[in-house]
Amino acid sequence: MEKINDIICIEGFGADSNCFLMDNILIDTGTGMNKEYLYQKIKECELNPDDISMIVNTHCHFDHAGGNYLFPEAEVAIHEKDAQYIENDNDPLTAGFMFGKSLERHDVDIKLKEGDKIANFEVLHTPGHTPGGISLWDGEVLISGDTVFANGGFGRLDIGGNLEEMNDSFKKLQKLEVEYLLPGHGPWTNQGKSHVELAHQMLFSF
């Protein structure tokens, strides 16, 4: 596993999102359908799954929040606009229907908003893929969920998405001097700013 600054990058397995580990905080949990894989990766970091004290979901979709149940003692944090979908485990905006599943854990402990802090990261509200999508920013690293991927990609807009909101989110992210881009799926990159700009250009051809 690659470590970028203090962040351990756990590549998504199958349909799982990428997960990012900062000390005992886990950013996203995948689908929960590959329990042993995720547990093993955490153990390779010299942690036990029970050591995870907080889960931060970048948004409410099943491939990012379905694994929350794997960490029953951890607090769950998600943006206030996506919390309602997590709390209603069968809500179509969780996209669980795409996997023939529903969320096994749907409690929310912390409802995030713009400007909140997670460790040394600032919460940025970056809707477009979902109403409450967030990115996390520390001045160098952007953990972007499904707002923006490497190589010009961005999250689909047909399950709770909004083109105008996505455009506004890209405008916000383009103001940042992003070095490392850590997205919810696919590879991460150390040329983050150019990849954010490329993705914004691609949005206009959508």
User: Of 157, 138, 136, 152, nearest to 189 (Cα)?
Assistant: 152
Q: Is the pLDDT of residue 184 over 90?
A: yes
DSSP state of 92: G
pLDDT at 206: 60
Q: How much is the mean pLDDT over the chain?
A: 95
Q: How many CA atoms lie within 13 A of 17 on its CB side?
A: 32
pLDDT digits (tens, 9 = 90+) for 105-155: 999 999 999 999 999 999 999 999 999 999 999 999 999 999 999 988 999
pLDDT band at 73 (very low <50, low <70, confident <90, very high): very high
**What mean pLDDT is predicted for residues 63-88?**
97
Residue 37: enclosing H or E segment and its boundaries?
helix 35-44
Query: What are 78-108's pLDDT values in tens digits?
Result: 999 999 999 987 899 999 999 999 999 999 9
Say yes or no to pLDDT of 202 above 90.
Answer: no
Residue the block writes with tokens 């900062």? 22
pTM: 0.96
pLDDT band at 27 (very low <50, low <70, confident <90, very high): very high
What is the C-alpha R_g of the chain? 15
Cα–Cα distance for residue pair 172/22, rounded to 1 Å: 24
Task: Tell me what pLDDT residue 198 has.
Answer: 87
| Cross-strand bridge partners of residue 9 | 2, 20
Whether 185 contacts 12, CB under 8 Å: yes
Q: Concatenated DSSP letters for 148-166?
A: --GGG----SSSS--HHHH
Extract the tokens encoding 172: 């916000």
Q: Minimal CA–CA distance to 2: which of 20, 17, 26?
A: 20
With contact defined as beta carbons under 8 Å apart, do 44 and 36 qualify? no
From residue 55, give the alpha-carbon distance in Å to each of 17, 22, 91, 171: 14, 10, 20, 27
